[in-house]
Amino acid sequence: MPFTDAPGFRMHYVIRGDGPPLLLVNGMGSDLSEWLYQLPAFSRKHRVVAFDNRGAGESAVPEGPYTTAQMADDAAALLAALGIPRAHLLGVSLGGMIAQEVALRHPGRVERLVLACTALGGALSVRPSPEALAAFARDPSADLEAQIRRTIPYLYTERYCREKPEEVEAFVRRRLARPADAAGVAAQLVAAIGHAAGNRLARIPAPTLVITGTEDRLVPPENSRRIAERIPGSRLALFPGAPHRLFAENAEAFNREVLAFLDPGR
């Protein structure tokens, strides 16, 4: 497993495939294993780089709190350390917030930008419901598996849970096998809450695809509409009936949409 100290802490990453570089940015508390549906598909045409954000996975947990700008600088430092001057960028959820900041703070490093199931933050953002926030509240003294299962209705649709229970159980097992660091998650949560890019999105020069599921119960899809309205020339892709983890539940369609955007002439 390769590591780098380039961002100022020990960061874990993997590289798969060959071709135009593509950097994948995780959501809150997750590690790069959550790209299991994307790495095989994307690496057929791209040199895919996936990494664990600060505070998650096999990366170190620097003292928090964090900001999305700080985490964006981490991603840019990884690209620089790997000798990649420019790359396509795909971020989901918190990763989409980080990706916005990469495109704003390091525009020369971003070829094409994909923002999935994410928010613009600040006063312009539509916040999760109180029920959703309560489901993701962490209690270090509570049973971890029970906490993970409490989040399932906000990540997957009822139909998927009923028809593909083995996939949902695999998700639970992955989270149990690699439990998120409580301090790291708390520091990332501060980054998500403090993110506010809405008034700056018009400055993003990269061609942008914004993707969301119409049944996202964690990050309301109106956020994606507002992001697409503010980034010049961006395109909005709505997946009818898809949940927050559309990149897992709707992986084939999601991957096809992303690849068509990244490789328009291929």
What average pLDDT does range 131-148 have in this prediction?
85
Separation CA 102–CA 203 (nearest Å): 12
User: How distant is the alpha carbon of residue 107 from its chain centre?
Assistant: 19
How many residues are there in the chain? 266
CB-count exposure of residue 241 (10 Å: 0-12, 13-18, 19+):
middle
CB within 8 Å of 93: residues ≥ 6 apart? 27, 28, 116, 117, 118, 218, 219, 244
The tokens describing 187, both together, are 């520091």
For residues 227 and 115, the answer to whether their CB atoms sit within 8 Å is: yes
Per-residue pLDDT of 95-122, as tens digits, reads 999 999 999 999 999 999 999 999 999 9
Separation CA 157–CA 164 (nearest Å): 10
One of 3.40.50.300, 3.40.50.1820, 3.30.300.30, 3.90.226.10 is the CATH number of 3-129+182-262, namely: 3.40.50.1820
CB atoms within 10 A of CB 149: 14
Per-residue pLDDT of 15-49, as tens digits, reads 999 999 999 999 999 999 999 999 999 999 999 99
End-to-end CA distance of the chain: 32
For residues 153 and 162, the answer to whether their CB atoms sit within 8 Å is: no
Which pLDDT score, from 0 to 100, does residue 140 have? 74
CB within 8 Å of 33: residues ≥ 6 apart? 57, 174, 178
Separation CA 124–CA 265 (nearest Å): 35
CB within 8 Å of 248: residues ≥ 6 apart? 34, 37, 156, 167, 171
Q: Do the bridges between strand 110-116 and strand 208-213 make them parallel or antiparallel, or are there none, so unpaired?
A: parallel
pLDDT band, residue 179 (cuts 50/70/90): confident
Per-residue pLDDT of 45-74, as tens digits, reads 999 999 999 999 999 999 999 999 999 999
Q: Which residue, among 77, 72, 124, has the nearest Cα to 100 in the 3D structure?
A: 72
Q: Which of 77-91, 92-106, 173-187, 190-204 has the lowest mean pLDDT?
A: 173-187
pLDDT band, residue 256 (cuts 50/70/90): very high
User: How distant is the alpha carbon of residue 18 from its chain centre?
Assistant: 22
For residues 90 and 186, the answer to whether their CB atoms sit within 8 Å is: no
Three-state DSSP class for residue 23: strand
